[in-house]
Every structure is written in C-alpha cells, then in structure tokens.
Chain A
Amino acid sequence: MRSRIREIVVKELRQALREPRMRALLFFPPVLQLVIFGFAVNLDVNNARIAWFDGDRTPASRELRERFEGSGYFTVLAMPRRDREVRDLLDHGDVQAVVQILPGFARDVDRGRASVQVLVDGTNSNTASLIASYANQIVTSFSQRATQARLDRKLGTSVPTNILPVNTASRVWFNPELRSRTYFVPGVIVNIVMLVTVMLTAMAIVREKEIGTMEQLMVTPIRPVELIIGKTVPFAGIGVVNMIMITLAALLVFQIPFRGSALLLLASTLLFLLTTLGLGLFISTVSHTQQQAMMSTFFLFLPALMLSGFAFPIQNMPAPVQWLTYLIPARYFMEIVRGIFLKGTGFAVLWPAMLALAVLGTVILSLSVMRFHKRLD
C-alpha cells in the first residue's frame, strides 16, 4: 500500500515540478501577493491631498494651516481662490478634501464662535472617515489653545487652568504603529495556501480525467484511498513550503512580529490543508473538464476569501453573513495565523478554531472520498 502511494506522489511531483513555467507558477503567486499586500495595498491615510481656501488671510488662519501641514496627515496641494476652483479640484479628484476658512475667521476666533468648513470627497468612505477624524482632532486642539488664550486675556493672568479636564491615554496593542502591512501579510499565508492547494488538487485529478489516464488508473488494483492520498500529499507539501516561504518573508523582509509558536502554526496549517485538499478533491469529483474545475475553484475561492476576514472585518458584516462565515475554513485559519503572529496567542485560546478546522476538514474530506468512485458512472 505504501509503495503504491509513493509511486503516485513521485509522479505528481515530477509532473508539477518539471516544466519551468509550472515551477514559476508555484512560487510566483506568493511573491506577488506579498509585494502587493506588503507594499502596495494600504488603508492607512497619510499625506492626504488637500486644498486650502483661505478667505481670511490672518495670522490665525495661517497658524491653523501650519497645524494641518505639521500633523503628518495632510499635504496642502492647492490654494484655490474661487468656489468654482474648489468644485473642480474635487470633481477631478485632484484633492481629497478642501478646508475653507471664511473671511472674519480671526475675529470670530476671538469672540469664541468661529467655524472652519471641511469639504471631504466621500467617494472612498474609508479614507473620508479617517480624514474627517484627523481634521476634527486638529481643529479641536487649535480650538482649545484659542480658548485658553481667550481665558488668559479675560482673567489678565496666565494661570495654567488645565486645558482639558479629561485626558485619554491610548495604548494600541499588537500593531502599535497601526500599519496595514502588519495586518495583511500574515493573512497572505491563508490566501496562498488556499489558492494553490485547492486549485492544484482539483486540476491534477480533472486533467487525468480529460486526457484519459484516469481510466487507466482505475483499472489498476490501486485503492481509492491510496489514489487520494497519493494525489493530495504532494500538494499538501507544496502548501507547507508556501507557508514557510511566506512566514520567512514576513519576518525578514517585512519585519512582521512573530510572537507565537511556530509549531502551533505548522499544526494549524496541516489542519487547514485537510479542508483545502478536501475541497479540491470535491471540485474534481463534480467537474469533467479543467475549465469547469477552474471556474468552480474561482467561484468558491472568491467568496471564501472575502468572507474570511482577510481584508474586510467580520465584525462589520450583517449578522446572517457572520453566521455564514462559520462555515468557511479560511475564517478560522485567518484567526489562528493572526493570533500566532501578532498576538502570540497559544493553544489555550486557539483550540476552538483548530477544532473547527479539524471538524470541517474531516467532513469535507469524507464527503469527497465518498463521492470518489473507481467507476466511470
């Protein structure tokens, strides 16, 4: 039994690794995704492009501008003079926000009832929320200083009445610089392992069906279990290699913290592989052509990725969709990977997710094995 499995493993590896283009395809996607998610894709806002419409031109309005520029969040790109220019700048998407200061701003500040108008391009709601929040903070702190100055003048002293009675001390855990990269890069492991193993498994079997060699295999005394193990083990190996590659890149290139246990990561990867290989196998039992297999893979992969919490937080989803995510193995593995990398959580916290993976994996794999017959009809 063992030797027959080994024959198939050797053959699959030979076929997968022989062609240079195939070899490239095994290693190119992880590298590409790492570059994209490590460098390119970014939800953080810094250097937002703004325009500054100053209708007052006083020291007070200039001071506010310096505060915006000095915050590190904003770059002033244009100083429009007319309303029409403001509209054009926003319509063309040249700037993301416009700060408008009305004439008489300095006077109103002294009277304690000035206002600053911030026009935000809401096209990208996420960026817009952050811009609004940063602008608000800068204006508020400017306002407090102005209030203090006014009180000082009124009382004729410079008594340090404390500026704000309540002070917030924020402590951000796990990702103190709040970098998108730290969040995305570990998730790439889930992505790649899923994409590569599901597709390769599904394709390896369907291709044999298409070229007719499956028929040849079926008349040999090989047992379905042997065939399945032989067909899946090589791809599990490739999945593990991918996982290790990405982990190393995350640590060495992207300086992502790794706070948990490497062994636990390996164990969870193996559990996750149960589900992806099972899924690949399942797809191959319902597809007759490679095209069908690929379309099915893609069709399942995309929602699974979207609902795994990779880029879109699960807690923001409507409740029924949140329940649905419990059926998606990637969701658990995502939680585990991020837990191990960023939080250093151990088995004590992660065991429910691992158990879920084990259960889902067993179910998917047994369903596929049951569907996998050594007959053509």
Chain B
Amino acid sequence: MTFRRYRAVAKKEFLHILRDWRSLFAALAMPLVLLLLFGYALTLDVDRIATYVYDQDGTPESRELVERFRGSRYFDVLAMVGDYQTVERGIDTSRILLGVVIPNDFSSNVLSGKEADVQLLLDGSDSNTASLALGYAEGLMQMYALEVQNRAQNQKGMGHPGPAVDARIRVWYNSELQSKNYIVPGLIAVILMIIAALLTSLTIAREWENGTMEQLLSTPLRPAELLLGKLSAFFVLGLVDTVIAIFVGVVVFEVPLRGNPLFLLAASSIFLFGALCWGILISTVARSQLMAYQMGILSSFLPAFLLSGFVYAIENMPPVIRLLTYIIPARYFVTILKGIFLKGAGPEVLWGPLALLCVYAAVVFFLATKRLRQKVA
C-alpha cells in the first residue's frame, strides 16, 4: 500500500467528478430535492379530511354535531349536501374521503334518550388515511356523545358523573407527531445509498466498458489502493451530502437533533464506506452500465427505501421479510439515525447496530478487493 499510488487514483477520480457537472449536480441536488419533498410536501399525517355532511335532521342538535366537525382541524367540511347520491358520487370521484349522514330522527332520539345513529361513509382505498380518519371521526363522535349524556343526566338531577376513566396520552420524542421528524433523519441513509450505489457503480462500470479499467489493472496498482483511491472522491461527496442533509433538516425543517453531531458523522462514515464498497462490488459483477444501474437500484436503493424502517415500520412486516431486513445494512443505519436525532441516544445505546455496520463495511471491502484481485489475475 503506497500513499503515492493511492493519491494518483484519488486525484483522477476527483477530476472526473468535478468535470462531469451533470453527475455532480445530481449528486448535490438530489439530497436537496429529497429533503424538500419529505420535509415539506410528503406526509402521512392526516388532517383536513375532505368531508361532505348530509344533515337530514336540520335541528339545533344536529347542527351542533356539524359544528364539531367544522371546528376540528382534522376535518374540512366542503359542503352540506341534500341527498345521499351526492355523497356517494363524491366518494366515487375522490372529491371527498368521508361522508357524514345524520338521520332525520337524530335530535328526537337524542332528546328522548334513545340511541341515535350517525352514519360515517368512508373511502377505504387508502387504508392508512382511512384508519386515521375513522379514528378521528369516532373520537369526535364519542366526545359529543359523552357530553350529550352528561347534559341529559344533569337535567335528570343525577349529578355530573364525568368519564370514569380518562386516557392521558403523552407522546415522547416527536410530540407534535409530525412525520417529517422521523422521515428526514432516515433520509440520510437513502441519500448515501444513492450516491454509493448509483454513482459509484456507474462510474466504474463505465471504466470497464471503456477499457480504461484494464489499463489501470495493468499498472503496479494494488487492488486495495485502487479501491480506496476510487472511493475517496465519492466518500467526500457523500459526506458533503450528509452535512447538507443534516444542516437543511435541522435549520430549515426544524427536525430536532438531540444527539451528538460528531457521533452522527462518524456513524455515517462507516455506513458510507460499506455502501461505496458495495457499489464497486456491483460494478465488478455487472457487465454494462445498464446492468450496474439496475443492480444498484434493486440491491441497495430499494431496500434502503422500503425495508429499512425509513418510512414503513419493520414490525408490521411479515416474519420472513422481517428476517430479510436483518441483512440490509440501511436498517441498522436508520435505527442509529433515528436514535441520534430523536432520542439523543449515544454509543452506549446504539453500540449493537454500530458494530454490525462495521462488520458489514469490513466484509464488503474484503469481497470487493478480492473480486478486483481476481480480475487482475
């Protein structure tokens, strides 16, 4: 291992990256676009649920219920409609998600202490939004029902019983329940995977295609020198992206960073190193750029996006796939990222996943150098 040879390769890679302004732009703009998307535009949190109300009753009691819906930040009552068909059509055309139908015997039933039915019609196609909407609507109805009950019992002189048990819900770590707070930290894993898997494997696959790799392999350069030299430039690029992501996440989107930023950078470096070696390994297996691209997307970007717990909780997955996630390095990195950002956790809590990341990086580095050596021989 000679530093001079390593430096020659590293310098060449830097020049490649700096000259290819398009790839450079993509590498630097990608984190910003993703951050913007997830920090600003994309959210799984449901509010302003588009709602039609069909009030058949039209009494002060029913109007009070409607006012509850209007006053809630979760619902957006678009219109009061006069017939059932409009509600159905609204759901069919996706104008609304929820239809509330108050029957014409509502107030008489409520006042006489009989049971009054309110119908909720819900577009369930998006199960997540629908579950949340249903939860909010039922919660709102329960509150209303309890108050009606209290009032009735007050009038009957039974005193004020109030709810016997009251659930006090406290949310830790992300008390405003904003999805950006858990998505933006995990995004760093996805961004690094894009840099590593796509950019690295493509650039190197191109060298194989052009035959310049053969040229390099015919020099006294050792596999490890070549590998590290190639990695350096992308490594720096990846770290720059990490810093951009952290900075924008914390400053612009006000995601809390409760842990130690230096620890965060250290963990990112380990992950990045492993991911870059993976990119090189792909490029030695793939024959063409098209193959390298596809393999890169399938083997690193998609799992990092979908199976790492970045957006979709791992505990909801079926056992077989849950087992599969254990071999996805991004899974450990996402755990570390969320731990550092939201829980302020340090190495004493996160040593487990951190150790596994180190093992991953070492194994992939070993495999990649071995593959390169085989190619030389």
Q: Which residues in A have some Cβ–Cβ distance to B below 8 Å?
A: 21-22, 25, 28-29, 32, 36, 39-49, 64, 90-93, 96, 109, 112-130, 132-137, 139-140, 142-144, 146-147, 150-151, 154, 161-162, 164-176, 178-180, 182-183, 203, 207, 289-292, 294-296, 298-299, 302-303, 306-307, 311-313, 315-318, 321, 335, 338-339, 342-343, 345, 349
Residues of chain A with a CB closer than 8 A to B142's CB: 137, 140, 164
A40 touches B43 (CB 8 A): no
A307 to chain B, nearest CB (A): 7
4 closest pairs, A vs B, by CB? A133-B135, A122-B174, A175-B124, A146-B164
B131 at the A interface (CB under 8 A): yes
A21 to B47, CA, bound (A): 46
Q: A117-B170, A164-B145 are in contact. List 15 more A-B contacts (CB 8 A).
A: A112-B163, A116-B167, A118-B168, A121-B173, A126-B128, A128-B171, A136-B167, A136-B169, A150-B164, A165-B115, A168-B119, A170-B120, A180-B128, A307-B37, A316-B48
Residues of chain B with a CB closer than 8 A to A318's CB: 40-41
Binds A, one of B246-254, B260-268, B287-295, B368-376: B287-295
User: Nearest CB to that of A301 among chain B residues?
Assistant: B297
B131 touches A162 (CB 8 A): no
A80 to B323, CA, bound (A): 27
A312 to B198, CA, bound (A): 25
Could you give 30 example pairs across A and B, Cβ below 8 Å? A39-B317, A40-B317, A40-B318, A44-B316, A91-B349, A115-B165, A118-B167, A118-B170, A125-B178, A126-B179, A130-B131, A140-B142, A143-B166, A162-B114, A166-B116, A167-B115, A168-B141, A170-B122, A171-B121, A172-B130, A182-B125, A290-B289, A291-B206, A292-B22, A295-B22, A295-B198, A296-B22, A299-B29, A313-B126, A316-B129
A36 to B161, CA, bound (A): 50
Residues of chain B with a CB closer than 8 A to A133's CB: 132, 135-136, 139
Residues of chain B with a CB closer than 8 A to A178's CB: 124, 127, 130-131, 134
**Interface code B128-159, partner A: CB below 8 Å = 1, 0 otherwise?**
11111011111101101110110010000010
Residues of chain B with a CB closer than 8 A to A139's CB: 165-167
B177 at the A interface (CB under 8 A): yes
B120 touches A169 (CB 8 A): yes
B34 at the A interface (CB under 8 A): yes
Chain A, interface SS category: helix
Residues of chain A with a CB closer than 8 A to B148's CB: 165-166
| One of A40, A90, A291 near B202 (C-beta < 8 A) | A291
Residues of chain A with a CB closer than 8 A to B327's CB: none
Given contacts A151-B161, A168-B118, A169-B118, contact A123 B174 (CB under 8 A): yes
User: Nearest CB to that of A24 among chain B residues?
Assistant: B294
Residues of chain A with a CB closer than 8 A to B125's CB: 174-175, 182-183, 338, 342-343
Q: Which residues in B have some Cβ–Cβ distance to A below 8 Å?
A: 20, 22-23, 26, 29-30, 33-34, 37, 40-50, 91-94, 97, 109-110, 113-132, 134-139, 141-142, 144-146, 148-149, 152, 158, 161-175, 177-179, 181-182, 194, 198-199, 202-203, 206, 287, 289-291, 293-294, 297-298, 302, 306-307, 311-313, 315-318, 321, 335, 338-339, 342-343, 345, 349
Residues of chain A with a CB closer than 8 A to B312's CB: 40-43
User: Nearest CB to that of A341 among chain B residues?
Assistant: B125
Given contacts A39-B318, A129-B135, contact A303 B37 (CB under 8 A): yes
B313 touches A175 (CB 8 A): no
A173 touches B306 (CB 8 A): no
B173 to chain A, nearest CB (A): 5
B298 touches A120 (CB 8 A): no
Residues of chain B with a CB closer than 8 A to A120's CB: 169-172
Given contacts A125-B182, A128-B174, contact A165 B169 (CB under 8 A): no
Residues of chain A with a CB closer than 8 A to B169's CB: 118, 120, 132, 135-136
